[in-house]
Amino acid sequence: MRPTVHDIAAAAGVSLATVDRVLNQRPGVRHVTREKVENAIREIGYVRDVAAANLAKGRTYPLVFILPTSDNSFMHGLNDEVQAAIARSSVERTQIRTVEVPAFDPSALVRVLDELGEERPSGIALVATDAPEVRDAVDRLVKDGIPVVTLVSDLTGSQRHHYAGVDNIAAGRTAARLLGRFLGSSKGEVAVLAGSMLVRDHRERLEGFAAVMAAEFPSLSILPVIEGRDDPDMAHMLVADALSKKSGIIGIYSLGAGNRGLIKALKEKAVDRSLTVVAHELTAHTRAALLDGTIDAILNQNAGHEVRSAIRVLKAKADGLSVIEAQERIRLDIFLKDNLP
Amino acid sequence: MRPTVHDIAAAAGVSLATVDRVLNQRPGVRHVTREKVENAIREIGYVRDVAAANLAKGRTYPLVFILPTSDNSFMHGLNDEVQAAIARSSVERTQIRTVEVPAFDPSALVRVLDELGEERPSGIALVATDAPEVRDAVDRLVKDGIPVVTLVSDLTGSQRHHYAGVDNIAAGRTAARLLGRFLGSSKGEVAVLAGSMLVRDHRERLEGFAAVMAAEFPSLSILPVIEGRDDPDMAHMLVADALSKKSGIIGIYSLGAGNRGLIKALKEKAVDRSLTVVAHELTAHTRAALLDGTIDAILNQNAGHEVRSAIRVLKAKADGLSVIEAQERIRLDIFLKDNLP
DNA sequence: CAGTTTTTGATTTACGTACATCAAATTTGG
DNA sequence: CCAAATTTGATGTACGTAAATCAAAAACTG
């Protein structure tokens, strides 16, 4: 049987009350006694029964998810997953609320983060806009003892406890290899559609993509990045424009959201051209495009896994527990038309 | 606050004891009273607090994992993951033990399954050899109320509660498309290395592979399947032999285990030839081969996820609870050299 | 060494559920 | 309608931990 607080008390030769004081860092224990208890805990390998503890405390975990206001399928999907987590909240002892902030707006994000510092929830998950002032705001929260995880896009140089998202450099590199190998020995230009270079995930995808392209597929040249701000209409306009002006385009890498617009442009302008297209994020639109051949491969991050992972990590950090690292690694999904879920 | 047994009692106008009798299907409750209670449960949306219940019961979940005796990295890895789960058992209230059975041996598997029927563990996970007698043995267990999940390889037509593994038809199709597109317009032969056609996962991979090859890549022809019994030495011999006899081979799909032997053969025989190779299962060997260019893509199933998922599902079934479907879907990982974990 | 402060012990209640026991009420059968 | 059988209620204990209270012991202070 696993050891209990009583076993610690017996092993350390102190009373239950003292063990409790040590375990819950209450005052009134001499240094030597505290050490005696801590040694006993280590020796008999005691692990607090979190379920019993939460039951006794009536504990819940108030968590906040900060999501950008964006009208694209990926963010809608992410939001849906948070709502699904909210529906499970009574079972998981969480109290989750979401806060919307304008996309790509560091100061708005900082304002919200600072307000949350007052509120002191058990944990905060945010889709980070990568800016120094955001990093500083996050570091203030961390220093204050509030668990913070970045979601989908990470925050450079910050002290956040965890990043629940894919390795975006690897994603960009993978996209480059898929595009390069699918195109074989063809020569031509490759267009890149991004959301904004203000978010780290997009910057990193581009970085990885460009690196592999340059090193391994010299017959393909990358055109200057098109920034569509993850907005379908804007993406549509910009891609349509590029396709009509540049006849040398034989491949497209869409590393952001707003693919609805990309697909529309492809169907209008490229029916006769054979383009190889790799895009990010599996949505109803990209799925249909993959199936009908408009898109050749989709790289995806599973929003449900990201949200569930963020919650698991925040709860664990709030309790000072460790997590199963391999379980929390968010994998890059690669979908061809054959392995769609 | 979430409703408790007291709330049910109040809502149904009965005592706590009666609610308890209904909840734990104890005898001595009139039909009408039982219905009154069940309605109240439904109306106020009561969900049993599993943590508190397990605490009260001192419940643990004795689980059995039936794994094949196979000397290949994938099965070793699977075993490691089960051991990791065993290390977590006190926290997760599980008591897991493993049973080894000879690979590809239906009758040995049936014997073990029948013995476990006596023992009545809370749940059983098995890597199934796909045979009617195994199916019948599993169905007996299921009929007896013992939760059963198949792991890695499924069991045709059985009543098992869940399959914790990838969609192998999709895996085969995906392999075909990768191989086909990587080979571009080249003409030639493709060799297929399998473990055994006695396990369903291998049969299904081949089925999916052949279907897409035939339909979409007519310039590539599939050679008769090589069965290496997931054994590195055997695979080495057979592949080396095929490569020296057939000069038209330009692609290889290795859909089973024992890739150590395949890689050895490739390095010996194919240094001068440019082969495109797609293999299954990420191990130390296949990883190195992917990085050095011997293999072009690896399809993988995450053994850790499969084991954790199997445990979650078995526990849930033992409690008569539902699971988060999307969470339990085992994804097919596609690794290129750029997105290795 | 007395008096004060700090530390420790002993004990109780609570969380939500399971399970057991005994008494009381209700329903059944003859 | 009465006795027997069945159903229901009331109550207590337990699981492992948290948190509080009060008393007792030990450690300091001057």
Which tens digits make up the pLDDT trace of B3-24? 999 999 999 999 999 999 999 9
Q: Which residue is nearest to nucleotide C21 (CA to C1')?
A: B17
Cβ neighbours around A266 below 10 Å, total: 24
Using the structure, give the distance in angstroms from the CA atom of A168 to the C1' atom of C27, rounded to a whole number.
71
CA separation (Å) from B208 to A75, A265, B173, B201, B202? 34, 33, 4, 11, 10
pLDDT in the model for residue A271: 65
At a CB cut-off of 8 Å and minimum separation 6, what does A42 contact? none
The amino acid that residue B166 corresponds to is V
Q: Tell if B50 CB is < 7 Å from nucleic strand D.
A: no
The amino acid that residue A245 corresponds to is K
A264: nearest Cα among A281, A286, A291, A246:
A286
Percent share of chain B, pLDDT over 70: 99
Cβ neighbours around A233 below 10 Å, total: 14
- Candidates B304, B331, B334; nearest CB to A326: B304
Q: What is the pLDDT along chain A (341 residues), one digit of tens a residue?
A: 789 999 999 999 999 999 999 999 999 999 999 999 999 999 999 999 999 999 999 999 999 999 999 888 889 999 999 999 999 999 899 999 999 999 989 999 999 999 999 999 999 999 999 999 999 999 999 999 999 999 999 999 999 999 999 999 999 999 999 999 999 989 999 999 999 898 899 999 999 999 999 999 999 999 999 999 999 999 999 999 999 998 899 999 999 998 999 999 999 876 667 899 999 999 999 999 999 999 999 999 999 999 999 999 999 999 988 888 888 999 999 999 999 99
- Chain C bases closer than 7 A to any CB of the protein: 6-12, 14-21
Alpha carbon B298 to its chain centroid, in Å, reads 17
Computed over its alpha carbons, how large is the radius of gyration of chain A? 24
Q: For residue range B134-148, list pLDDT tens digits in order.
A: 999 999 999 999 999
- The dihedrals phi and psi of A93, each to the nearest 5 degrees, come to 60, 30
At a CB cut-off of 8 Å and minimum separation 6, what does A171 contact? A204, A205, A208, A255, A280, A299, A332, B339
Gap from B234 CA to chain A (nearest CA, Å): 30
Q: Are the Cβ atoms of B181 and A181 closer than 8 angstroms?
A: yes
**β-bridge pairing A249-254 and A226-227:** unpaired
For residue A16, which nucleotide's C1' is closest to its Cα?
A: C9
Residue A279 · residue A251 · CB < 8 Å: no
Gap from B315 CA to chain A (nearest CA, Å): 15
B324 vs A contacts (CB less than 8 Å)? 308
- Name the helix (H) or strand (E) containing B297: strand B297-300
B125: nearest Cα among B278, B328, B262:
B328
pLDDT in the model for residue B321: 87
* Secondary-structure breakdown of chain B: helix, strand, coil percentages, each rounded to the nearest 5: 50, 15, 35
Q: What is the pLDDT confidence band of residue B270, given thresholds at 50, 70 and 90? A: low
Q: Which residue is nearest to nucleotide C17 (CA to C1')?
A: B53
Q: Is A56 at the interface with chain B, CB within 8 A?
A: no
Using the structure, give the distance in angstroms from the CA atom of A60 to the C1' atom of C7, rounded to a whole number.
32
- Candidates A91, A296, A332; nearest CB to B339: A332
- The dihedrals phi and psi of A259, each to the nearest 5 degrees, come to -70, -20
Coil, strand or helix at B20: helix
Q: Are the Cβ atoms of A91 and B333 closer than 8 angstroms?
A: no
A90 vs B contacts (CB less than 8 Å)? 2, 47
Q: Are the Cβ atoms of B167 and A339 closer than 8 angstroms?
A: yes
Gap from A133 CA to chain B (nearest CA, Å): 31
Residue A217 · residue A189 · CB < 8 Å: no
> How many whole angstroms separate alpha carbon B323 and alpha carbon A231?
35
pLDDT in the model for residue B71: 81
Q: For residue range A15-59, list pLDDT tens digits in order.
A: 999 999 999 999 999 999 999 999 999 999 999 999 999 999 999
Average pLDDT of the residues in B239-260: 93
The beta strand positions in chain A, using DSSP E, are 61-69, 94-102, 123-126, 148-151, 162-164, 188-194, 220-222, 226-227, 249-254, 276-280, 297-300, 333-335
B341 vs A contacts (CB less than 8 Å)? 329, 331
Q: Tell if B329 CB is < 7 Å from nucleic strand C.
A: no
At a CB cut-off of 8 Å and minimum separation 6, what does A121 contact? A62, A63, A64, A146
Residue B64 · residue B125 · CB < 8 Å: yes
A268: nearest Cα among A237, A292, A247, A230:
A237
| Range from A89-103, B271-285, B293-307 carrying the lowest mean pLDDT | B271-285
pLDDT in the model for residue B198: 86
Using the structure, give the distance in angstroms from the CA atom of A296 to the C1' atom of D1, rounded to a whole number.
86
Q: Are the Cβ atoms of A308 and B302 closer than 8 angstroms?
A: no
> Which residue shows structure tokens 């029916």?
A271
Gap from B66 CA to chain A (nearest CA, Å): 23
CB-neighbour burial class of residue B244 (10 A; exposed 0-12, middle 13-18, buried 19+): exposed
Interface A-B: count of C-beta contacts within 8 A:
87
Cβ neighbours around A248 below 10 Å, total: 11
- The dihedrals phi and psi of A193, each to the nearest 5 degrees, come to -110, 120
Residue B160 · residue B149 · CB < 8 Å: yes
Q: Tell if B13 CB is < 7 Å from nucleic strand C.
A: no
Residue A100 · residue A70 · CB < 8 Å: no
> Does the pLDDT of residue B61 top 70, yes or no?
yes
**pTM: predicted TM-score of the whole model, two decimal places:** 0.91
B305 vs A contacts (CB less than 8 Å)? 327
Coil, strand or helix at A230: coil
Q: Is B212 at the interface with chain A, CB within 8 A?
A: yes
Q: Are the Cβ atoms of A331 and B302 closer than 8 angstroms?
A: yes
> Which residue shows structure tokens 């993988």?
B300
Q: Which residue is nearest to nucleotide D13 (CA to C1')?
A: B56
The beta strand positions in A103-161, using DSSP E, are 123-126, 148-151
Computed over its alpha carbons, how large is the radius of gyration of chain B? 25
Gap from B1 CA to chain A (nearest CA, Å): 8
Q: Is B322 at the interface with chain A, CB within 8 A?
A: no
- The dihedrals phi and psi of B190, each to the nearest 5 degrees, come to -120, 125
pLDDT in the model for residue A125: 98
Coil, strand or helix at B32: helix
Q: Tell if B15 CB is < 7 Å from nucleic strand D.
A: yes
Q: How far apart are the first and last CA of chain A?
A: 42
> How many whole angstroms separate alpha carbon B275 and alpha carbon B293?
10
pLDDT in the model for residue A185: 86
For residue A4, which nucleotide's C1' is closest to its Cα?
A: D16
